[in-house]
Amino acid sequence: MDIRTGRSALVIVDPQVDFLSPESVIWDLVGEQVENNAVVGHLVALKAAAERAGIPVFYSPHYFSDHEYAGWRHLNTIDRIMFERRMFDVSGKGAEFLPELTPRPDTIVLSPHKALSGFWANDIQIQLRQRDVQTIILAGMSANLCIESHLRDAAENGFDVIVVKDATAGAGEAATQAAYVNYGFIASEVVRTAEALEALASAAPVHA
């Protein structure tokens, strides 16, 4: 796992209450896997390690507003689940960042993604390209939906993507394992948090 400061970034997808806290409106679907993988602790550790290494941290959040809940007409299955439960309601607690993952002033909080991938619905690509990022360390929620979608689109757009498999979780064991299978085919590398932390601790600067 080769991490170069100046060319790498940590991207955390949806580090929000509605995926990572028992207060979530979908905790019955994701809670067991989030706890089994110790996702919150792993994300906190990755964020701190990236900051120590001088590697930028990006958040790709998910928000919906009243006009979207009322006005959207073409919902897929996951959209219907989120809308029925008002997941990521921008006026509620569920859309807030988890307190342990409160962004610092230098955390780059991207515009919200409305579909599963930020590459279609937010400013992730321009923000990465403007900073000469080539390697993305990818973590967050959820394993087989937003993480896998960010991974696919990042790879299709020429980024090298390292997925931290135990810093994500799906809605149940089957969904989580399905994501792991696909990571193995699409990602540049698939690692565990311990490996990522070791690589971040020894991150090498880019030499001109």
Q: What pLDDT does 207 receive?
A: 53
Dihedral-angle region of residue 6 (phi above 0 means left; psi in -120 to 50 means alpha; beta otherwise) = left
**Cα→Cα distances 140→10, 70, 201, Å:** 10, 28, 20
Give the chain's length. Answer: 208
Q: Is the pLDDT of residue 41 over 80?
A: yes
pLDDT-based confidence at residue 208 (cuts at 50, 70, 90): very low
Q: What pLDDT does 106 receive?
A: 97
Q: In this predicted model, what pLDDT tens digit does every residue of 58-85 receive, in sequence order?
A: 999 999 999 999 999 999 999 999 999 9
* % pLDDT > 70, the chain: 98
Q: In this predicted model, what pLDDT tens digit does every residue of 7-40 receive, in sequence order?
A: 999 999 999 999 999 999 999 999 999 999 999 9
**4-203: in CATH 3.40.50.850:** yes
Retrieve residue 51's tokens: 């900051």
**In the chain, domain spans:** 4-203
